[in-house]
A and B are shown apart, each in its own frame.
Chain A
Amino acid sequence: MTAPELSQPMPRTRKRMNATYRWWWVFQRVSGVILVVLIFTHLFVNLMMGDGVSQIDFAFVAGKWAAWYWQVIDFVMLLLAMLHGTNGMSYLINDYARSRRSRAILQAILGIAAVVIIVLGSLVIWTFEPCPVDATGAFLPGVPSGCPFN
């Protein structure tokens, strides 16, 4: 009688693995940790310090973004939050969209929205003009009082 071939070794090689899902999973965690710091500072500065929410106006924003580090901080926050949020939303779409088609459509919408928001947001942060002027060179109404009059 032949011995059973029950424990014959199987030839195999270690393959390169698709990193997409893992990468996003890690990103979700890393960005989460960084976001905690950023968002808490953001909230604290905007809502808790000084006059809280009522202090926020153009002047407040202008005051902040006058400093380059606030620009950097807010940009990083925007980017991470959007990527983190977008990926999170994409998880949800995957989970809840019933058909292949609706899944593809929703993912596309999400992707476009994310790109638009990120581009828009970064433009705003980086090209911010604390003392905007109109076509004639006059200051727009509402500019901060600190803007130089020339």
Chain B
Amino acid sequence: MWVVHRVTGVAIFFFLVVHVIDTSLVRVSPEAYNEVIGSYKTPLYGLVEAGLVAAILLHAFNGLRVIAVDRWTWALRHQRMLVWIVWALFAVGMAGFLPRHLMHVFGGAA
């Protein structure tokens, strides 16, 4: 779990850097921004984006677990169960997000 948290944290970090740079293009010109954003709207990038959301969900839920474990003895004693809950929440979150997202990516591009 510790490794997952690390890897997702790093992934998000690098994404965030890129994300801030591309968003900053709105300052350059709307056209440039739309162009770059447009290039994100390919199915391949859609998958990457899905992975990113997955990473954020995992990192966030697990982060909350870590915080809980540090804060409450109860959580500390039941940390194994909490790991399962993290995965469950992650699954629920992805189940809510993925179908809709993939629909937008593959179906609704028009």
Contacts and interface: CB of A to CB of B under 8 A. Distances in A.
Interface of A: 29, 32-33, 35-36, 39-40, 43, 47-48, 51-54, 56-59, 61-62, 78, 81-82, 85-86, 88-89, 92, 113, 117, 120-121, 123-124, 127-129, 132, 140-144
A32 B108 CA distance: 33
Given A128-B27, A143-B30, A54 B67 contact: no
A117 B70 CA distance: 31
B10 A92 contact: yes
A89 B10 contact: yes
Contact of A61 (B12, B17, B33, B38): B33
Nearest to B70: A29
Given A92-B10, A141-B31, 13 more contacts: A32-B63, A32-B64, A35-B60, A51-B104, A54-B104, A58-B33, A58-B37, A117-B20, A121-B23, A129-B27, A141-B29, A141-B30, A142-B34
A48 to B, nearest CB: 6
Contacts of B108: 51-52, 54
B33 A53 contact: no
Nearest to B5: A88
B9 A132 contact: no
Given A92-B10, A142-B30, A54 B17 contact: no
